[in-house]
Amino acid sequence: MDEKSAKKEKIPRQPMPEQKPEVRKRNFEEVPLGYDEETAIREAQRCLQCKSPACVQGCPVSVDIPGFIKLIREREFTKAIRHIWERNSLPAVCGRVCPQEIQCEGMCILGKKDRPVAIGNLERFVADREREHGTGDLPPKQHPTGKRVAVVGSGPSGLTVAGDLILKGHDVTIFEAFHKPGGVLVYGIPEFRLPKEIVYSEVNFLERLGVRLECNVVVGRTVSLDELFEEGYDAIYIGVGAGLPRFLNIPGENLIGVYSANEYLTRANLMKAYLFPKYDTPIVRGRNVAVFGAGNVAMDAARTAMRLGAERVRIVYRRSRDEMPARAAEIHHAEEEGIEFHLLTAPKRFIGNESGRVTGVECLRMELGKPDESGRRRPVPVEGSEFELDCDLAVIAVGAAANPLLTQSTEGLEINERGYIVADPETGKTTKRGVWAGGDIVTGQATVILAMGAGRKASDSIHKYLTWGW
C-alpha cells in the first residue's frame, strides 16, 4: 500500500496483541506479544513525518522518531534500529516501560484528533527484531582514548553512560552491588512487563562493545570512590538509584507477611521466588493480598501477587482514581486481571496473630481536601470510619528514598536535606571533582527514561572533561 492510499483509508492505530487476562494472570510470561512486520509497517504508515516533530521534543533522550519510523515504512528494519541506537542504547527496554503517553506519544500531532502513532510499540518492534533476527553487527567505536571511567550501578542511567562512553573510545567498567546487572530493570520490573532475557541481551550488547562488568561490588563498602581514583579511574558516574524503601510507619508493620515493595519484587523477580522450590528463595504466597500505594510499583506488586496464586488482590490508596500515579495502561492491565481498587482508604494499623503473621489491616475512609505541595488533593481521614480488611500478605509500595550507603562513605560529595546527591541538572557534575551522578539518586524516584536522559547529559559532560578538563 502506498502512502496516499494509506491516508485515504485512514489507518486506525494498530492494537498490540496481548495474552488474554484470564490466562496471563496466572503466568509470568510477557503480556503484550509484539507487532509482526506487517502490523509494524501499517502502524508506521500513520506517521505524518512532521517537519518539526513534537514527539522528539517529548523524548528525554531525543530519539529521531520520524526518522526511524520512516525506515520501518521502507522495511529497512536494521537501519531503523541503528538509527535509534544513536540516541538510545536500551530501545527494547524503553519500548516496553517508557510512559509514552506523556512523552513522545503525548506530543504526537495525530493525538489531537485521532490516537497518536504507537511509537513505543514500533521502537519495541525494531529492537526485538534486531535481537531475534539481527546481524549482530556493532556500531563503530572511536579510537581508544586511554581514559578510564567507573560507572557505579548498572541500572538504566549507568548502562546509558557506559554505552555512550565506550563508543567514544573510553575504557568503561560498571560496578554492580547485586549479583546480576540491570538494577531496577531486573529486581523491580516483573518478568511479565520486561523479560529479564531482554535486559541481559542489552547488557550483553554493551559487553560486546567492550564494557567490563563487575558484579558483587558494593561501592562504598567493597571499594570507595577515592580508591577507584587511586586505581586509575579518571572519572566516576554514580547511578545507584533511590533504593531505600519507605514504610507507612504504622503499628504492626514488622509482622511476617508485611513486605516493602522492594523486598517483594526482589524476591519475586531477581531471586525468582515464583519458581520456588526450584529456586531457593521463598516468598509469602498470600491468598488475600493488600497492596498500599497506586504507582507503577504498586501495580507490579499486585499483579505479581495474582500470578503467585492469590484469590483476591486489593490496591489500597488514600486518594482517588484521578490522583493515581501509575500509567493508565498499567492500571488497565491490573483491572483486566481482576485487581480491586479500594480508593480513598488509608491503613491505620496491621493486625497479626500469635505467631506474628499479618491477618488484617485496620483502615480509615478518607475524603479529599485542598491540594498539598505535590499539587494533589490532600486526603483527610473521616472520623470514626475505621474498618478492617482481611489480608495474609501486605505490600507497601509508597515510594523510595535515597540510600545513604555510598554517600555516607564518601567525602566531598554534597547531598541535600533529603539525602539525594546534589548534581548540576545540565551536566550531572557533583561537588566532588571527577564525579558525576544522575537518575533517582539525584532526582528521587522517577522513570527509566528520565534516568537515561540524565545519563546521556552526564556522558556528554564526562566526555568533555576527559577531552578538555574539568
Partner 1 sequence: MFEILKRHEMADGTVVMNEISAPKIAAKARPGQFVILKANETGERIPLTMADTDPKKGTITVIYQVVGKSTALFRGMQVGEKYQDVIGPLGQPTHLEKLGKVACVGGGTGIAVLHPITRALKEIGNYVYAVIGARTKDLLILEDKMKAASHELEVCTDDGTYGHHGFVTDVLRDLLERENIKLVVGIGPVPMMKFLCKLTAEYGVKTLVSLNPIMVDGTGMCGCCRVTVGGKTRFACVDGPEFDGHAVDFDELAKRLDAYKEEERMAYEKFMKERQAG
24, 267, 319, 429: which one contacts partner 1 (CB under 8 A)?
A: 267
Cβ atoms of 113 and 138 within 8 Å: the answer is: no
Grid cell, residue 288, equals 488475600
> Helices 328-336 and 296-307 meet at what angle, rounded to 10?
20
Please give the span between the terminal C-alpha atoms of the chain, in angstroms, as a whole number: 54
User: In whole angstroms, what is the distance from residue 87 CA to residue 163 CA?
Assistant: 10
Cβ atoms of 45 and 1 within 8 Å: the answer is: yes
CA distances from 67 to 83, 130, 192 (A): 8, 17, 30
Instruction: Give the residue among 324, 350, 359, 352 at the shortest CA–CA distance from 339.
Output: 324
Residue 228 CB, nearest distance to partner 1 (Å)?
12
Residue 418 CB, nearest distance to partner 1 (Å)?
15
User: In whole angstroms, what is the distance from residue 422 CA to residue 427 CA?
Assistant: 12
247 vs 387 by CB, closer to partner 1: 247
Residue 56 CB, nearest distance to partner 1 (Å)?
35
Residue 176 CB, nearest distance to partner 1 (Å)?
10
Is 263 an interacting residue with respect to partner 1 (CB under 8 A)? yes
281, 359, 427, 431: which one contacts partner 1 (CB under 8 A)?
A: 281
35 vs 264 by CB, closer to partner 1: 264
Grid cell, residue 291, equals 497492596
Q: Which 282-341 residues touch partner 1, going by CB under 8 A?
A: 282, 284
19 vs 409 by CB, closer to partner 1: 409
Q: Which amino acid is at 257?
A: G
70 vs 272 by CB, closer to partner 1: 272
262, 296, 345, 430: which one contacts partner 1 (CB under 8 A)?
A: 262
Given phi > 0 = left and psi -120 to 50 = alpha, else beta, which region is 123?
alpha
Grid cell, residue 20, equals 488474554
User: In whole angstroms, what is the distance from residue 257 CA to residue 395 CA?
Assistant: 8
Q: Which 144-183 residues touch partner 1, going by CB under 8 A?
A: 177-179
Residue 17 CB, nearest distance to partner 1 (Å)?
32
3, 74, 280, 426: which one contacts partner 1 (CB under 8 A)?
A: 280
Instruction: Give the residue among 82, 209, 198, 195 at the shortest CA–CA distance from 135.
Output: 82
Query: Site size for partner 1, by CB under 8 A?
Result: 39
Residue 241 CB, nearest distance to partner 1 (Å)?
9
221, 321, 332, 433: which one contacts partner 1 (CB under 8 A)?
A: 221
User: In whole angstroms, what is the distance from residue 80 CA to residue 372 CA?
Assistant: 45
6 vs 244 by CB, closer to partner 1: 244
Residue 181 CB, nearest distance to partner 1 (Å)?
13
Contact pattern from residue 344 through residue 373 relative to partner 1, giving x for each residue in contact according to CB under 8 A and a dash for the rest: -----------xx-----------------
83 vs 180 by CB, closer to partner 1: 180
User: DSSP secondary-structure letter at 192?
Assistant: T
Q: Which 82-141 residues touch partner 1, going by CB under 8 A?
A: none
* Partners of residue 377 on adjacent β-strands: 371
Instruction: Give the residue among 86, 87, 104 at the shortest CA–CA distance from 47.
Output: 104
Q: Who's near 430: CB < 8 A, 6+ residues apart?
A: 238, 413, 414, 421, 422, 423, 436, 437
Please classify residue 63 by burial: count the beta carbons closer than 10 Å to its beta carbon, then call 0-12 exposed, 13-18 middle and 19+ buried: buried
Residue 275 CB, nearest distance to partner 1 (Å)?
8
The length of the chain is 470
Cβ atoms of 297 and 265 within 8 Å: the answer is: yes
371 vs 404 by CB, closer to partner 1: 404
Q: Which 379-408 residues touch partner 1, going by CB under 8 A?
A: 403-405
Stretch that binds partner 1, among 79-87, 221-229, 320-328, 368-376 (CB under 8 A): 221-229
Stretch that binds partner 1, among 20-28, 146-154, 220-228, 316-324 (CB under 8 A): 220-228
Residue 125 CB, nearest distance to partner 1 (Å)?
31
282 vs 425 by CB, closer to partner 1: 282
User: In whole angstroms, what is the distance from residue 366 CA to residue 252 CA?
Assistant: 21
Q: Which 229-258 residues touch partner 1, going by CB under 8 A?
A: 243-245, 247, 253-254, 256-257
* Chain residues that interact with partner 1, rule: CB under 8 A: 177-179, 215-218, 221-223, 243-245, 247, 253-254, 256-257, 259-260, 262-263, 266-267, 271-272, 276-282, 284, 355-356, 403-405
